[in-house]
Chains A and B, each alone.
Chain A
Amino acid sequence: MDLLEYQGKQLFARHGIPVPDGRPARTVDEAVSAAKEVGFPCAVKAQVKIGGRGKAGGIKIASDEDEAREHADAILGMDIKGFTVHEIWIEGASTIEAEYYASIVFDRGAKAPLIMLSTQGGMDIEEVADSNPDAIATLHVDPLLGFQDFHGRKLCFAAGVDADLVRPIGAFLHQLYGTFVAEEAVLVEVNPLIVTPERGVAALDAKVTLDDNALFRHPDNANLRDPSDEDPQEQMAKERGLTFVKLDGDIGILGNGAGLVMSTLDVVAQYGGAPANFLDAGGGSKAEAITSAVEVILSNDSVKAVLFNIFGGITRCDEVANGLIEAFKQLNPSVPFVVRLDGTNDVEGRKILAEASLPNVHTAATMDEAAQKVVELAKGEAA
């Protein structure tokens, strides 16, 4: 789960990381009173889960109440790369002497947290990585040993941090690692990490991604999800406990198991079709789950045909067939379906389907045949 900047900063503050004083606001009036509380000048910042806010005009400095109102009014509701701004964050403007970069990621290759520190913060770090990789100091931390103070010093010296800042930056990294572990994040990134004229440090931005699988241990964090910025169809699928990703095409896809569904999307594309979604009905899919999955798929008006690709292991094909029949009863779909059933109880499943003789349901013996057929049907080339 990705957090908004201010949610990340609130987590940081809980772990002792210095952040500027700020308030969230959802209306212009809230923004003005927040600005009066933090004092002028203050920054008015769009809260969206995408980079490049500044360039898009989503961050402005207000020097008085009128300007705060004007900026809040302009930024709220703004569209930034497809994300609508529902919330803004007002914080006291900082005096910046230097901008650094710090992050901790889950390094899958090394199977360890990777800390990165650079004195060239404030800009796109990928650009720095490309043009001057030596400007980014990196270090892996043993997950069982945890962060040691020498790790901080080592990184600071490698990154070329001024001697008088080694202690505060080292302490900052230690707290950042503490946040990463305690909150079970898979990414924490601070860009810029600012140096003030008093030679102190603070996190001026926060990018935090939490591990969804660990939210059961962090009930407060689980409440941070903002359903208003999720696609309504994805939200509907989530409420029904389905693994679903919306795509741009017109062929609805349902399968069991993430790998098989991904493979189905590819095979459909190879036959010239465009999948409308990824939907993994999961292992052991019962009839009920199939019915609600069909409902989710058909809630997208652009769907012109639907492909069921099931290879039963735990999932039983007779259950899938019964679920499909139930879905037809409830939803009476007008688009054609192609069904491929293989695996556990496939003979029973195919028999159930044949006896039900649902209108506009075609069967296929293999994944390839099913993909080819559904593409033809979506294009209106087959009856």
Chain B
Amino acid sequence: MAVLIDNDTKLVVSGITGREGTFHALNNKRYGTNVVAGVTPGKAGQDVEGIPVFNTFGDAVKETGANVAMVFVPPRFAADSILEAADAEIPLVVAITEGIPAHDELRVYTHLQRTGTRLVGPNCPGILSPGKANVGIIPASFFKEGNVGVVSRSGTLTYQIGNTLAQAGFGNSSIVGIGGDPVPGSSFIDIIELFQADDQTELIVLSGEIGGDAEERAAEYIAEHVTKPVVAYIAGFTAPEGKTMGHAGAIVSGSKGTAAAKAEALESKGVRVGRTPTQVAEIAVEILGG
């Protein structure tokens, strides 16, 4: 098993005829992901290297049975695209787009809670289940199949941690980037719940950063509901107060949201926290054996 995406994934990509959309849809297809359709309004009947394009998500679902949507359109159109995918009753939407207005994200989140569509992202690198499917922009060649599940707020940091884990001999069940925005569609808790239930996952790695209280909430959840070992990493110990560090959600406000407070919250619940990505891999070796 893996979480969220696997061999049964049928992917539909909105924005597939755009430069980035084409590049990454084809990249995902080359990896082996079953990319069944694209959506660009007004371009129905065209195809992108054999992937048929439809006017709407509804048409794409009807014709191809697509069950995962990837949103790759510019920020001003992204909320609308996510809502359209949900309207077509696609159960999982992965939004890569960075810079979606916060009020858009809030409305989308609230609506999706009611319709039952799961959103991963926005502003995320996507999901990779090594050996099965890749939806998004994670450079899959650095990862192999294995028993470590990774959930992260940051893209490149995930690659760094995944790489050090790989050098220590570990592969991954799935890697899920939940994104660095203040209102992500899925939280650490949502994904950890999936890893806890996933047979393939024997260790969960949580990669967090400054801002908000998602890590603190995850700590509480882990203490109550998770029996598998969890290792965490928090970025931003040296981040100054009041400055946004690249991600819209990464800001230390007052005494809240600091890396130290997050590490402490996790450690108080028995989660070991690596101080560097290398340490995360070392702890993984201690837990799972080298």
Q: Which residues of A contact B (CB under 8 A)?
A: 106, 108-109, 111-113, 126, 142-144, 181, 184, 186, 211-214, 216-217, 243, 245, 247, 255-263, 265-267, 269-270, 275, 278, 280, 283, 311-314, 342-344, 366-368
Most B CB within 10 A of own CB, among A245, A256, A311, A312: A311
- Chain B, range 241-266, C-beta contacts under 8 Å to A: 243-250, 254, 259
Shortest distance from the beta carbon of B58 to any chain A beta carbon, whole Å: 22
Residues in A neighbouring B100, C-beta threshold 8 A: 213
B240 near A: Cβ within 8 Å? Answer: yes
A214 touches B277 (CB 8 A): no
A257, B237: Cα distance in complex, Å: 17
Most B CB within 10 A of own CB, among A126, A257, A262, A265: A262
Shortest distance from the beta carbon of A66 to any chain B beta carbon, whole Å: 39
A367 touches B102 (CB 8 A): no
B110 touches A269 (CB 8 A): no
A311 touches B243 (CB 8 A): no
Residues in B neighbouring A283, C-beta threshold 8 A: 137, 155
Residues in A neighbouring B254, C-beta threshold 8 A: 126
Residues in B neighbouring A312, C-beta threshold 8 A: 139
B110 touches A256 (CB 8 A): no
B236 near A: Cβ within 8 Å? Answer: yes
A101, B138: Cα distance in complex, Å: 46
B170 near A: Cβ within 8 Å? Answer: no
B163 touches A311 (CB 8 A): yes
List of 9 A-B pairs having minimum Cβ-Cβ separation, nearest first? A259-B154, A258-B246, A257-B156, A259-B157, A214-B101, A260-B156, A262-B235, A263-B235, A313-B139
B276 touches A259 (CB 8 A): no
Most A CB within 10 A of own CB, among B157, B237, B275: B157
Q: Give the interface SS of chain A, mostly helix, strand, loop or mixed.
A: mixed
B163 touches A108 (CB 8 A): no
B246 touches A313 (CB 8 A): no
Residues in A neighbouring B210, C-beta threshold 8 A: 262
Q: Which residues of B contact A (CB under 8 A)?
A: 75-76, 99-104, 106-107, 109-111, 125, 137-139, 142, 152-160, 163, 180, 182-183, 207, 209-210, 212-214, 217, 233, 235-240, 243-250, 254, 259, 275-278
Residues in A neighbouring B155, C-beta threshold 8 A: 257, 259, 283, 313
Residues in B neighbouring A217, C-beta threshold 8 A: 76, 101
CB-contact partner of B160 in A142, A144, A311, under 8 A: A311
Q: Which residue of chain A lies nearest to B208 when distances are taken between CB atoms in the complex?
A: A259
CB-contact partner of A314 in B101, B137, B213, under 8 A: B137
Shortest distance from the beta carbon of B186 to any chain A beta carbon, whole Å: 12
8 contacts between A and B (CB under 8 A): A108-B182, A184-B103, A213-B100, A257-B155, A262-B235, A263-B160, A266-B237, A343-B159
A320, B160: Cα distance in complex, Å: 17
A256, B155: Cα distance in complex, Å: 10
Q: Which residue of chain A lies nearest to B177 when distances are taken between CB atoms in the complex?
A: A259
A283, B111: Cα distance in complex, Å: 30
A304, B9: Cα distance in complex, Å: 51
Q: If the complex has contacts A142-B110, A283-B155, are A259 and B207 also in contact, measured as CB distance less than 8 A?
A: yes
Residues in B neighbouring A213, C-beta threshold 8 A: 75, 99-102, 248
List 20 extra interface pairs beyond A245-B243, A263-B157, A311-B160, CB under 8 A.
A111-B183, A142-B110, A186-B102, A213-B101, A256-B156, A258-B245, A259-B157, A259-B158, A259-B180, A260-B154, A262-B246, A266-B235, A266-B238, A266-B276, A275-B238, A278-B243, A283-B155, A313-B159, A343-B142, A344-B139
A280 touches B246 (CB 8 A): yes
Shortest distance from the beta carbon of B122 to any chain A beta carbon, whole Å: 11
A186, B142: Cα distance in complex, Å: 38
CB-contact partner of A144 in B107, B153, B158, under 8 A: B107
A365, B155: Cα distance in complex, Å: 20
A275, B238: Cα distance in complex, Å: 9
A201, B100: Cα distance in complex, Å: 35
Residues in B neighbouring A269, C-beta threshold 8 A: 237-238
Residues in B neighbouring A186, C-beta threshold 8 A: 102, 182
Residues in A neighbouring B249, C-beta threshold 8 A: 108
Residues in A neighbouring B209, C-beta threshold 8 A: 258-259, 262
Residues in A neighbouring B278, C-beta threshold 8 A: 366-368
Residues in B neighbouring A258, C-beta threshold 8 A: 154, 180, 209, 245-247, 250
Shortest distance from the beta carbon of A257 to any chain B beta carbon, whole Å: 3
Q: Which residue of chain B lies nearest to A266 when distances are taken between CB atoms in the complex?
A: B237
Q: Which residue of chain B lies nearest to A265 when distances are taken between CB atoms in the complex?
A: B238
Residues in A neighbouring B277, C-beta threshold 8 A: 263, 367
Shortest distance from the beta carbon of B49 to any chain A beta carbon, whole Å: 20
A314, B24: Cα distance in complex, Å: 10
Residues in B neighbouring A270, C-beta threshold 8 A: 275-276
Q: If the complex has contacts A213-B102, A265-B238, are A259 and B247 also in contact, measured as CB distance less than 8 A?
A: yes
Residues in B neighbouring A275, C-beta threshold 8 A: 238
Residues in B neighbouring A255, C-beta threshold 8 A: 156
Q: If the complex has contacts A311-B163, A343-B159, are A109 and B239 also in contact, measured as CB distance less than 8 A?
A: no
Q: Which residue of chain B lies nearest to A109 when distances are taken between CB atoms in the complex?
A: B213
Residues in A neighbouring B139, C-beta threshold 8 A: 312-313, 343-344
Q: Which residue of chain B lies nearest to A180 when distances are taken between CB atoms in the complex?
A: B103
CB-contact partner of A111 in B110, B245, B246, under 8 A: B110
CB-contact partner of B246 in A113, A261, A343, under 8 A: A261
A263, B274: Cα distance in complex, Å: 12
A109, B187: Cα distance in complex, Å: 10
A275, B107: Cα distance in complex, Å: 38
Q: Which residue of chain B lies nearest to A256 when distances are taken between CB atoms in the complex?
A: B156
Q: If the complex has contacts A143-B107, A270-B276, are A211 and B160 also in contact, measured as CB distance less than 8 A?
A: no
A143 touches B106 (CB 8 A): yes
B212 touches A108 (CB 8 A): yes
A357, B66: Cα distance in complex, Å: 51
A313 touches B138 (CB 8 A): yes
CB-contact partner of B236 in A143, A247, A262, under 8 A: A262
